[in-house]
Amino acid sequence: MKREARLILGGGAAYGLAHIGAIEAICEEFDITGIVGTSMGAIVGGLYAMGKTPQEILALALDSKTTLLFNPGWVPFQPLKLSLDLIKSLHNKKKVMDLFAKWIGPVKIEELLLPFVAVAYDLNLRKTILIDKGSLTSALRASSSLPLLFSPHEMQGHLFVDGGIEHPLPVAFKDLVPGSFTIAVNVLPPVSQEAEKIGVTTPLVNNDLRTHEVVIQSILQNQGFVAIQAMLHNPPDLFIDAHDPRKNMFDLANVKDFYDFGYRSAKESLAGMAEPKFMAHLLNRYQGLISHLMKRGHVTGETPTSPEPE
């Protein structure tokens, strides 16, 4: 008989596609009892909670329209020559809502097969909001509104942006869904304790990178640091690092590679559970890393709340 586990799925733009493969591997050994997700973790987790299989979610991600909509940096054969008009169109919130509505339909979170919470950040209230009721389409749009990639999502007086702004790996909210065993999947870039000195003659600018790409990449790198802090402050029973260092944040042209990497990473971590003190050693390693970077720290804030259902 399979064990039961609740999932915590973090954000990370295209890196979050690894969640699909990770869920595939986890489901081979566990029955999922609930999901808390941020950004791409909310999208993948929400689709799974409504009954779609990992293979069905993978098929949606492989669709060319999905690739173009979620990746302003990707155009076949001309990846760095995206026109301003196309960039503006990608910010069109109606396009995103139409895509989610096509995938999901008029499904409410209360109607899902599994308990589900989407994490978003409200710019008006300046606090995290936990969405556990109402339209699933609207919840996923709110949670995944990464600044500069998508416009904020307006909903019942809230102005939502990506939940990863404050909680890129929402382990703090694991108790909002049922389960006694928690599995957290992180896909964000790693944190380094090393720094490098360079001379003034060292080239500093990659002219191929556009402003919005630089900003989003910087956001995700900072979120990687916050995610590790969150994991140390609220340790899960199993932590899966599914960040693929070979890819970039907009690399949706290689969906299957992310899926495969997520699957392998999850299988390796699941196998590691059999080793004595597997998680204790992992937590000690990350704690040592954080200690090199700061004396003490974890992100705190006001207690997040849930909006009224739509």
Residues with a known catalytic role: 39, 162
Q: DSSP character for 308?
A: P
Kindly report the backbone phi and psi dihedral angles of residue 8, in degrees, each rounded to the nearest multiple of 5, phi listed first.
-120, 115
Largest CA distance in the chain: 62
Q: Residue 13 phi/psi, 5° resolution?
A: 50, -135
What's the CA dihedral at 242, 248, 253, 258 to 10 degrees?
-10
CA atoms within a 13 Å half-sphere pointing along the CA-CB vector of 207: 1
Question: Encoding tokens for residue 245?
Answer: 């260092």
Closest CA to 125 of 92, 101, 155: 155
CB atoms within 10 A of CB 28: 12
- Which one-letter DSSP state was computed for residue 135? B
